[in-house]
Each structure stands twice: as structure tokens, then as C-alpha cells.
Structure 1
């Protein structure tokens, strides 16, 4: 039997959440720094759910949603930055951060 995996956007907590069979397994935090400009500072997967590719599923779903909203993404999270270097997300605008840019 396969697990039910879903990704939802939680605006109140400013994070995307990935759940496995109804249990939150990970989060990708976001912060809108100006209208249409979103910083992604951190992604975490609960160690109990590690090794299942959930980080990539979470990143892909969140980035696809942000692209559909027309947002520009600033990938501060090393995991998200690596994901973006290895995968194309159609329609996503990425503004690679400088060291002196907003945190």
C-alpha cells in the first residue's frame, strides 16, 4: 500500500507543508518581502520521514505554486537552491541572492 502524500500552503504559518498519511512530515518556509517577491529561507523534513524524496516533492510543489502565482523567488535555503540548479520549474522567476540582500 502506498502512502498518501500531499503538499499544502499554510499562509497563516507562512510555510508549505508536506504530509504523509495526514502527518506533517516537513515544511518549506516562505516570507514575502514585497508584493510578488518571496524569500525561501529554510526547508526541513522530519528525520522519521527521511530518505523518501519528500524534500524534492515539497520543493517542486511549492515552487510550482509560486510560479503559478507569478511570484519571484529568492532561494536562501541551500536545499531549494540546489533543487533549482538541478530542475526546471516552468514559469518560475528566480532572483539568485547576493550576500548583502535581505535575509
Structure 2
């Protein structure tokens, strides 16, 4: 099976508090979230297994995670550089983003 035929699925794993991307049922990467006292989802870290790098999986898992959070009506607080970059370059309809209290370049 070629890379283009590989099945890529993103799921939310509430037990481990992360969104996972699987390629042909193998865990290839994830983006972690933690829930604060206000119910906001803080995204501090995204990781892709070195064996799966170069396939755009970090962007896929973050994209699907943000879309799912928007559908659920939850709020995102981005900390992870991958999540920050994604949110600065993509519009996610209905997503509520609360930027951390730190200066951001314009």
C-alpha cells in the first residue's frame, strides 16, 4: 500500500487528553490538551513519530482537533508552536480562541 492509499484517521482520546492521528491503525502522532478550571482546552504540545514525519500529519491532527473543538463549542488556548501557527494561518469556523497573555508578533 502506498502512502497515498494509507488510511489516516484522527480521534479524540479523552482518557489521555489528546487528539491522535492514526495511519493504517498505527498511532503516528498526537496533540495534547489539558482542561483548565474554566473548561478551556490548552494545547501545549504536538508530536509526530519520526517514522511518520514529512507527511503533514501534525497539520492534519491539529486541523481535525480544532474543527472538533469548534463543533463542541469549546474554547482553545494555544501554546504549542504548531497549534499557534495553524491558528494564525487558518480560519476555523466557530472556533473560540483565547490567546495566552504574552506578546505576539504582528
* Runs of at least 4 residues off by over 4 Å: none
Q: Which runs of 5+ in 2 are unaligned?
A: none
Q: In 2, Cα distance between the equivalents of 1:37 and 1:68?
A: 14
Structure 1, unpaired ranges of 5+: none
Find the counterpart in structure 2 of residue 21 from structure 1. Answer: 24
The reply on whether 1:10 has 2:4 as its aligned counterpart is: no
Distance 1:38 1:96 in 2: 11
Query: Once the 2 structures are TM-superposed, how far is the Cα of residue 98 of structure 1 from its aligned partner?
Result: 1.2
Q: Structure 2 length normalisation: TM-score?
A: 0.89
| TM-score normalized with structure 1 length | 0.92
What RMSD in Å do the two structures reach over aligned CA positions? 1.0
- Number of aligned residue pairs: 99
Greater CA drift, 28-37 or 71-80: 28-37
Shift of residue 35 of structure 1? 4.3
